[in-house]
Homo-oligomer: A and B are copies of this chain.
Amino acid sequence: MTARPDPLTVEVVDLIGTVVARFHEEYERAAAEHSLTGAQARLLRLLAMESMPMRKLAQCLKCEPSNVTGIVDRLESRGLVERRPDPADRRVKLAVPTTEGQATAEHLRTSLDFAREPLGRLTAAERTLLKQLLQRMLGLGDAPDASDSPEAGGPAEGPGRGGA
Contact = CB atoms under 8 A, between A and B. Distances in A.
Report how many copies the assembly holds: 2
A87 interface: no
A134 interface: yes
Residue among A62, A115, A124 with the highest chain B CB neighbour number at 10 A: A115
Q: Main SS of chain A's interface residues?
A: helix
A124 B10 CA distance: 12
A138 B19 contact: yes
A146 B134 contact: no
Interface in A122-164: 122-139, 144, 146-152, 155-156, 158-164
A160 B150 contact: yes
A-B residue pairs, 7 tightest by C-beta: A17-B164, A149-B164, A15-B134, A13-B115, A149-B160, A20-B23, A130-B133
